[in-house]
Structure 1
Amino acid sequence: MTNPYSDRPLLSKLDGFRIEVDAEAERGDIVLERAPMNVISMDQRDQLRAAFEALDADDAVRVIVLRAEGEHFSSGGYIHGFLDASPEHVSHLADNVAAPWRCAKPVIAANKGYTFGVGFEISLACDFRIAAKSTFYALPEQKLGQIPGSGGSARLQALIGLARTKDVVMRSRRISGQQAFDWGIAVELVEDDKLEEATAKLVNELRSFSPMAQRTAKKLLNDSENATVATGIELEGHCYSRLRQSEDFAEGVKAFHEKRKPTFVGR
């Protein structure tokens, strides 16, 4: 499949993944394709950031999906790359992996098999994680005399709390797909052969809402993640007030009273 962003310098020759845009489904996919383990190289991290930014800016895309070819999502990063990279490059690892979090559009991670290290960290930076039953999540850096370096421990702690995060990080413990679902890391748990079906269903659900309301909700939730309840309510009120002036809100109210499906335009 042709790379839709090959004219961009950083994306002219993709390393270990491909980009697909389905304009009819309003879906953009980043597909890891360095099977069988989908190891993520240092240069690939920069390209993944650029790929998320390109899809976020593409008007043909409403929802972004991060998925992988083969049995495993990703066993993690290329270990020798850490030794070869400069301290300056390494200091930006978390910034690259945070690209899904920064996207204005919703981002789904479709996980299966080994989802370790940076594979887990970039999935944690997505808005939704769908786990196949074969999934095992892990932050195994302690086995290398290191700690997670791309936001994994911080994002995981926000999801499951301090005690469970210590159990996972300090013991390099693997979490099954079932346990991830029980703990709230994954929003859905499905059979492996149903992973794409579940992903497509969520894409279609998300694209049925107002693009403007989706962008606003994501930014509000991200911005208020560490806020007090009072501050979160204040931010929510400002966002609600702005959306009241939107064409999409007027269309939503009109469609509700007319008992029909709304046609949102993102304004």
Structure 2
Amino acid sequence: MTHATASATLVATEVIGRMAVLTIDRPEVRNALNRQVLSEIEAALEEFEGREDIGVVVFTGAGEKSFVAGADISQLAGYTLQDGLQARMQRLYDRVQDYGKPTIAAVNGYALGGGNELAMSCDIRIASVNARFGLPETNLGILPGAGGTQRLSRLVGVGRAQEMILTGRIIDADEALRIGLVTNVVPAEDLMDTVAVTADSILAKGPLAVRLARLVVRNGIETDQRTGLLLERLAQSLLYASDEKAEGAAAFLEKRPARFGKSMTGTETERKEHV
């Protein structure tokens, strides 16, 4: 059974099982990001944050050609020093990265500039074979200012990040997979089913374990290894004392699926029923 929320003007939202899907819906301009799109993404994230029936949030783009092709250049042309200091898109993507629920980017086409930066702010990136990635901002006399200079280097290494940013080169899905920018590449027709399977796999795990693992990985990479190991130790100590650990261990010993409350509610079956 599928439950849908009211579609926004430029960002359509749908809840399938415990998976919420945000679709940037401006295919006529390759799903370019403007102020209204950013506002609607912010509103959707605010709504989903407090909903216990939602466990995973997915970002994708409308149509078959683009995930998000970047910022709306018609608005970009009017940006000022104050817009740069406000850094609205960068702050929004920081929120995506630190979101309380796991996030997946279903990259179904061009992910350029702000689109690539949105994908990189998600926990997992799954791409269709026709996906293309790039940070071509230097062509416009600017730099990737929504996290691109920082997240790309952390994902693929400083050397590759410098080359992509300085040249503005666009890479295909196979290269993105090879350098670690995405985690999986699948045929276009299998993209959302693969995303649903991935979401189901996450939702079947202990929700507190998932949340703490994300926190430790994200914050540990920003510090030295010794401090990261301390974060890991403290998070594990919390889990050792949790009901979630007791259930997981009991389920393993009793050779049955763990019952982590609502986390066992699937998305894949409901999506197939919807289709």
Structure 2 length-normalised TM: 0.88
Letter aligned with residue 174 of structure 2 = Q
Shift of 1:84: 3.2
TM-superposed CA distance for 1:85, in Å, is 4.4
Q: What displacement does 1:43 show?
A: 2.9
Deviation per CA, 1:43-92: give whole Å up to 9, x if none.
32233133223212211101111112202111111112123345444423
Alignment of 1:146-157 (within 5 A): 146-157=142-153
Instruction: String of CA shifts for 1:182-213, please: whole Å, max 9, x gaps.
Output: 11111101111111111111011111001111
* Pairing 1:236-251 to 2, within 5 Å after superposition: 236-251=232-247
SS across alignment from 1:18? strand
Aligned to 2:137: 141
Aligned position for 2:33: 40
| 1:57 aligned onto 2:50 | yes
1:70 matches 2:80: no
Q: Does 1:82 align with 2:67?
A: no
Structure 1's consecutive aligned runs of 4 or more residues displaced over 3 angstroms after TM superposition are 1-4, 83-90
CA gap of 1:196–1:266, structure 2 versus 1, over 3 A, is closer
- Identify which range, 168-177 or 73-82, moves more after superposition: 73-82
Distance 1:26 1:155 in 2: 28
Q: Distance in 2 between matches of 1:46 and 1:183?
A: 32
Give yes or no for contact 1:45–1:93 (8 Å, CA) kept in 2.
yes
What root-mean-square deviation, in Å, do the aligned CA atoms of Structure 1 and Structure 2 show? 2.0
- Of 175-184 and 81-90, deviating more is 81-90
More helix by share: 2
- Unaligned 5+ segments in structure 2 are 264-275
Separation in 2, partners of 1:87, 1:43: 20
Aligned match for 1:235, one of 227, 231, 238: 231
Provide Cα deviations, 1:190-239, integer angstroms capped at 9, x if missing partner.
Answer: 11111111111101111100111111111111111211111111110000
Q: In the TM superposition, what is the alpha-carbon distance from 1:266 to its structure 2 partner?
A: 7.5
What SS class does the counterpart of residue 170 from structure 1 fall into?
helix
The TM-score normalised by the length of structure 1 is 0.91
- For residues 123-151 of structure 1, give each alpha carbon's deviation from its aligned partner in whole angstroms, at most 9, with x where no partner exists: 00000000111011011111111101100
Larger relative CO (CA 8 A, sep 6+): 1 or 2?
2
Structure 1 residues without counterparts, runs of 5 or longer: 7-12
